[in-house]
Each structure stands twice: as structure tokens, then as C-alpha cells.
Structure 1
Amino acid sequence: MTPMTSPQPRPNVAEIPPYVAGKPPTVRPGMTSYKLSSNENPYPPLPGVVEAVQAGVAAMNRYPDMGAVALYEALAQRFGVPVEHLSVATGSVGLIYQLVQAFCDPGDEVVFAWRSFEAYPIAVTAAAATAVKVPVTADGRHDLDAMAAAITERTKVVLVCTPNNPTGPAVTQTELDGFLAKVPPHVLVVVDEAYVEFVRTSDPVDGLATYRGRDNVVLTRTFSKAYGLAGFRVGYAVAPAPIAAALRAVSLPFGVSTVAQAAAIASLERQDELLERVEALVAERARVVEGLRAAGWDVPEAQGNFVWFELGDRTLDFAAAADEAGIVVRPFAGEGARVSIGETEANDRLIAVAAAFAR
């Protein structure tokens, strides 16, 4: 055996796929450009949130409250759950990493739909676990029957992204109940609800009721989307006490900053204003989908704050056409493009680009 001449990371590290963030918009003279590539909330911070953050900035020489006591209490009160059933982290993506780390040994399997959230295979590979990707249906939905069939004795975690990012459809409560009935009790089911506030279906998932009825279900949610705190990185999990304790055990000390905790608490206190903004975005989503379908596009059901274009080999051409119009989208080469619901003018340009591209 040839001796190593330098430190070597674990073999799985070289296999970790890169996370591709949404690009910023191209600056075009005389034209306002819009970023529709990262599913960000186009609204500025809620009233009072900036003031709460500024108070936290004054203490930047001190470490954050590692126990996030005030944030846990606010979440517990808002959702009617015990504090010991909560865990906070740097966005819901941080919680996904922690869940795989806490529950998977190397080689254990994690089942999830594909295409789904880009960070799933990254988190799984980083933990030296094995990703089991189950194709979504032709209309971008989770194939829960196929996912249940994909569970083996090596499966430790199943990820259910609802609404599914980037394709858009949401799982119904009936579908989720039927799926959970097929999942062995020792397999952890993660219901990733990053876009839960935007769901408008006749049979929406009631994540809190679902977690209360089972010992193997955890919800992950974020303040990045509906609450507009993407730059502060704070999310939370709701889970039975043993699962929440495992998440807190593997969490990064002082991971959620003082200003992020302050912003999250202030946002929870302003639920009415938040819901008004969410309703406005949902109305814009409906307008965009109607415009796209009128232009001949068969877009999947959109239940997040984005729409999905199935484009195949034309994906990069579509992204280039959007860029020329002053909007940047998130292309997945060879598959399609996800476009966030943004400002009214940005959405109008998207409809126009799509109409021209379809012709």
C-alpha cells in the first residue's frame, strides 16, 4: 500500500454534490432587474422587526443565547407544543443535516422524492449515508406508493417535501396518512414544510396534528420564506421529545445568532401582517399560473411561492431569455426552471417571456 502523503477526507466528501444557489440578477442599464431564483420573499421586513434586530446588534460582542430560551417559548406558545418538542437551527436546511447526522450510520438509506430540495442529497452524502431517489410523477407530485415500496431494512429516514421544491405540488393529508400507515415505526419521517404558509388545497396537511399522533414524525419549518428572514438563517423542528432532543444534541453551539432569534420572535408577534403578505403572494401566484396557462404552458400545481417549468433541453435557453428581460430564474439543466413569485412587474415580465418562449 502506498503511504498517504497528506491528510485525506473521508471518501464520501468527494462525492458531495455542490449546492447551486440562485444567481443575482444581471445589472442592465435603464432597466430594473429582479431576482426570482431563490424563492425569497419580495417584501421588506415586517414593521418592528428591524427595530428588534437593531437592539440585538447592540450586543454583538456577546454570544447568542445558546438555549434560545425566548425563541423556544415564543414558538411553544404560537403552536401549542411543549418546549421540549422543539429544536431550532440555521434554517430548516440545518435541521435536515442534523436529522441525517443524528439518525443515520454510514450506509444507512434515506428515501426522498426527486427532483426535490437540492440540499437533500448533499446532507445525505455528507453523512456517508445512501440516497434513495424516487422519481416524482409526471405532474411533479410525490409518488408516495413508490416511496413506501423503496423502504428497506437499511432505511432510517424518509423526507417528504410538501409543497415540493422545485416542482410545486403539495401532499394531501389523506395521502400522507396512507403513506405513514405503510412506514415502519422505527423509520423517521421528516415532513419538510418550508412553504407551509402558502398552501391552499382542499385537503392540506395538518403537520402539527400528524406529529402529535405519531412517534416517528418530525416537522421542519423555516423563517426564510413567508417570514422573509432568509438572510438571518433560522428554522425550527417540531417533533416528539426524543427526536427533538437528538436534534439539539447534534446542533452547532450558538448556531442561531442573537439577531436571528430577535427577528424570529418579533415576526411571530406580527402574525396578522405576515398573513396579509402571504395572501398577496398567493394571489399573485394564482395570477401568474393563470397567465402561464393562458399562454399554453402546462405548469404543475403551484403551492409554494414559485412555479415550475418542465423544459428539458430548453432549460438554459429559457433562463437566458428571462435574463434578457431582466429577471433571473433558477435553472436545473436538462430538467426545468423554477421561478419565484416576486414583485408585480417581475411577474408580468415572466408571463411575457414565457408567452414568447412558448411560441
Structure 2
Amino acid sequence: MLEPLPHVREIPPYVPGKPPPARPGLTAYKLSSNENPYPPLPGVLGAAEQAASAMNRYPDMGCVALYDALATRLGVGTDQLAAATGSVASIYHLLTAYCGPGDEVVHAWRSFEAYPIAITASGATGVKVPVTADGRHDLDAMAAAITDRTKVVLVCTPNNPTGPALTHSEVAAFVASVPDRVLVVVDEAYLEFVRMADPVDGPALLRAHPNVVLMRTFSKAYGLAGLRVGYAVAHPDVAGALRAVALPFGVSSVAQAAAVASLASEDALQARVDSLVDERARMVEGIVAAGWSVPDPQGNFVWFALGERSAAFAAAAGEAGLAVRPFAGEGVRVSVGEPEATDRLVDLLQTLEPPA
């Protein structure tokens, strides 16, 4: 039988968040996938239904309406945009376009689980740089890891799954230290949830540095995880390369229509994001009151660095009707969800011994 390319066998599996376990007499909550617990924004379901009525037709491969809406929102040219089936697909497209065997991709670790998968799929080699003790990117160490073989650096802010975000000053200084020949991907999947001084201004970074690429998604704050639509913002040459390697007609008509309608519901979006940020703050207050601590969460999730206790913690959460996301031997990520889920998490923490 014909064998796949050698590196294909080295691709690590992606481990998705599990659905909530069924517990008799107990409402179960899924806190394992960083999903938005709210229904679609006003007008989105109607737009999606209208688009679905024409499902016998191919979607607009040029994503004209979506690109126009995004260009207006971000103050960029439509030639600087490249849509994909989620921001993770944009990462695959970029690595496909710019990396191959012998090339290196530098990224923090622990960070987004799909990075090693996408890097290996491209044939390149990943260079993992450990995050700091408080779950932050070690940008100095990442800069030191860049070699003549480095083609791409991946910066995830806020970092999934540990939670902390980088400041604009930190990222700007880092990008200025990176050779122009190296693409710096700023993965901003959770940017809407950031509440800190000096937040990253992605478009400003891109204006100052043509080697910057922004990755964004409609899956998290906008609540369109089930439709799979994200996008990259980049120099026109880079965006063109991403569009060139993308699967034709990849972003469905329904996804495009829902994304455009979501962009038109900015006030409602902001209210929902603010509500989730408030719930995040309440969750952290409960965690601290129970004697636990977590790194500064700037996404819609918190991180428990539990090491070998991770599996046991996830099992205990499951018994309480909470699906959480364990990372074997490292920690557990818990999404911000419904208030009752927060209460139940805090109740659980009060029964367990926090790490020393």
C-alpha cells in the first residue's frame, strides 16, 4: 500500500473538548472548548437561514461582503484579508504557503494545541519555548530561539490555554527584534475578552511591520464556533499567498452571512462579551476565595497548573457535571460559561486541596 509522507505519521492528534457527562438530576455544563454560552447575536440566525435557502449554489469564493465589512471595521484594504474555516485554518494556510522540510517555526509552549499539528503537517520543525511560571510568553527566549532556518514565529495572546495576554509594548518590541524575513503571527482568537492596560493593537503592528500577520476568529466572542469562519489580516502579498493555498469555496455561504450579520451587531456583541468578562471576574474571585490561584485570565477561560493531578481534577469535575479540558501532566483549562457552572466549579474547589 502506498505510504503517506514520513512527516504525516508524526502529526500529533488534536484532542477536542469532551461534551458534558450526563448526571441524573443534574444539569451538565460543557466548559471544555471555550465556547460562547450565548445564542447567536440578533439578526444572525435570520441571515444564516436566508443563506441556507440557497445551499444549492456555491458560496462566494471571494467573500466580497465579508471582506468589505471587515475592511471597514479594521481600516485595512480588502486585499489584506484572507478568510478560512476558523483561524486555525488560516494558520494551516500560512504554514503551507511559507514552510516546508528544513524550516523552523518558533512558538510558546504550552500554547494552542493545533500549532504542533499544523507545523508538522507542513513538514517544518516546531521549536517550543516554555512559557514562564505564570503562563506568559517568554519573548526574550523566543527571540533567542530564532535561527537562519526560522520562517515563522507564532505568538498567541491571550495565550490558550494558560490565559495571560501580552501588552502592545511587549509585542511591538519583540516584532522589532525579529528579522524582516520572518513572519510573526499574532494569534488573537480571544482579543475581545482582553481587559488590561496597553492591550495589543494588531492593526498598528501590521502598519509598522509588513511581516506581521493577525489571526482572528468568529468562533469565540461572536459565538459562531459551529460555522467555522476566521480570517487573517496581513500585507497584501501574504494575504494573497494564504488565499492561493486555501481550499476553494471553503467558507460556506451560511458562515459568511452569519459573520457579516454578527459584525453589524456590535452593541449586542459588546454587551455579551462584557457579561462573560464579568462572569470571569466572579469565577476568579470564587477560585481565590476557595484558596486556589490561576494565571491572569484575559480570554474566556482559566488555567489550573495541576501537573499530574490534572486527570483526577477533570474526573472530579465530571462527577460534578462539568466537562473541563485536561492537558495530561500539565494542567486543566476551564471555560467561562453559565453562572450555575461557575458556582459548581467553586463548590468543587472548596472540596479539593489546592496545589502547594
Q: TM-score, normalised by structure 1?
A: 0.98
Partner of residue 69, structure 1: 64
- Give the alignment of 1:77-226 within 5 angstroms: 77-226=72-221
Within the candidate set 341, 346, 357, 2:352 is matched to 357
Other structure's SS at 1:338 match = strand
- Which string of whole-angstrom CA distances, capped at 9 and with x for unpartnered residues, describes residues 285-333 of structure 1? 0111111112111200000000000001110110011011111000001
How many angstroms does 1:105 deviate by? 2.1
Deviates most, 348-357 or 282-291: 348-357
What amino acid does structure 1 have at the position aligned with 2:292? W
Are residue 11 (structure 1) and residue 6 (structure 2) matched? yes
Q: TM-score, normalised by structure 2?
A: 0.98
Other structure's SS at 2:151 match = strand
Are residue 240 (structure 1) and residue 235 (structure 2) matched? yes
Looking at structure 1, the residues matched to 172 and 86 of structure 2 have their Cα atoms a distance apart, in angstroms, of: 26
Are residue 41 (structure 1) and residue 52 (structure 2) matched? no
Structure 1 unaligned runs (5+)? 1-5
- Which string of whole-angstrom CA distances, capped at 9 and with x for unpartnered residues, describes residues 93-132 of structure 1? 0000011111112120000000000000000000110000
Looking at structure 2, the residues matched to 358 and 226 of structure 1 have their Cα atoms a distance apart, in angstroms, of: 33
Say if 1:115 and 1:135, in contact at 8 Å, map to a contact too: yes
Looking at structure 1, the residues matched to 252 and 211 of structure 2 have their Cα atoms a distance apart, in angstroms, of: 29
How many angstroms does 1:182 deviate by? 1.2
Looking at structure 1, the residues matched to 310 and 100 of structure 2 have their Cα atoms a distance apart, in angstroms, of: 37
What amino acid does structure 2 have at the position aligned with 1:335? E
What amino acid does structure 1 have at the position aligned with 2:320? A
Within the candidate set 309, 312, 319, 2:307 is matched to 312
**Identical pairs, percent:** 70
- Give the alignment of 1:217-296 within 5 angstroms: 217-296=212-291
Other structure's SS at 1:249 match = helix
Are residue 327 (structure 1) and residue 293 (structure 2) matched? no
Looking at structure 2, the residues matched to 357 and 66 of structure 1 have their Cα atoms a distance apart, in angstroms, of: 52
How many angstroms does 1:235 deviate by? 0.2
Q: CA RMSD in A?
A: 0.7
Structure 1 runs of 4+ off > 2 angstroms? none
- Which string of whole-angstrom CA distances, capped at 9 and with x for unpartnered residues, describes residues 256-286 of structure 1? 0000000000000000000000000001101
Looking at structure 2, the residues matched to 106 and 330 of structure 1 have their Cα atoms a distance apart, in angstroms, of: 32
Other structure's SS at 1:200 match = coil
Other structure's SS at 2:22 match = coil
Other structure's SS at 2:318 match = helix
Looking at structure 1, the residues matched to 304 and 270 of structure 2 have their Cα atoms a distance apart, in angstroms, of: 27
How many angstroms does 1:358 deviate by? 2.4
Looking at structure 1, the residues matched to 206 and 194 of structure 2 have their Cα atoms a distance apart, in angstroms, of: 18
- Which string of whole-angstrom CA distances, capped at 9 and with x for unpartnered residues, describes residues 17-71 of structure 1? 0000000011112111000000000001111111000001100111111111111
Looking at structure 2, the residues matched to 211 and 222 of structure 1 have their Cα atoms a distance apart, in angstroms, of: 17
